[in-house]
Amino acid sequence: MCSGRVDPAFVLRAFSKGADGVFIGGCHLNECNYITHGNYHALNMVLLCKKIMEHIGLNPERLRIEFMSSGEGILFAEVMNDFSSKVRKLGPLGKGEGIDEKELKSRLAEISKLIPYIKMVENGKLGSRLRDKEEYDKLFTVDEIDRLFSEVPSYYIDPDKCQACMICSKRCPVEAISGGKNRIHVVDQEKCIKCGTCLEACPPRFGAVKKISGEPVPPPLPEEKRTIVRKGKEK
């Protein structure tokens, strides 16, 4: 499998399942067999994940990427022995950082939900090609990551504009929108992954979906008030 296929969600899932360290191996940079150069994407993904790990209190040394060929068995063994030794010194995930197990799972779960949003915001940088290791620490900064999470948007469907066309609910990748025919739609904020699909899908003539940042989301409309009575059908 191309290393470019490795997604941040895979890394976070491994940690949430109890892995104390995650290693990613890829082809040498500029030696891609499929001309996709996915190993650059893998490198950028790892650099982003390391900053995210710092943000939630995990030691970024628990994640490592190395580039080598299938003929470098000795190098692979040396790298794995070194990484294993380092992870053992760091101790069990969470305990080595002084984070309670329940709190750690909660942090990982929250970050995992935001992966689609993070990838969308950082899409340009994830596709860049770094030529020098000195550029690694400059690609994603601590301030940038802090700002990224402080500005996480929410999506809300204005009940006065919703026409229950069901387009947004059908397009939502995680089924976070409830509604139906003649039923005002509501976004389940706990399920929402902040991808913005609903905002893009809502017909401009309705403009019912609102992007909210820096302020609380209005409470959802009560169930008994969500029925839309069309003109001509009023009794």
Say which range, 85-99, 128-142, 160-174, 202-216, has the weakest mean pLDDT. Answer: 128-142
User: What DSSP character marks residue 18?
Assistant: T
Tell me the average pLDDT of the chain. Answer: 92
The first and second tokens of residue 28, run together, are 């040498």
- What is the per-residue pLDDT for 68? 92
110-148 residue pLDDT tens: 999 899 899 989 999 998 888 888 888 899 999 999 999
d(CA 32, CA 47): 20
Give the angle 135-136-142 at the CA atoms, nearest 5°: 110
What is the signed CA dihedral for 43, 195, 178, 105, rounded to 10 degrees? 40
Specify the pLDDT at position 75: 95
pLDDT above 90 for 214: no
Q: Quick one: average pLDDT of 180-188?
A: 94
- Tokens 């939502």 belong to 172
Residue spans of the domains in the chain: they are 3-150, 154-225
d(CA 40, CA 26): 9
- Residue 24's DSSP bridge partners are 65
- Would you say domain 154-225 falls under CATH 3.30.930.10? no
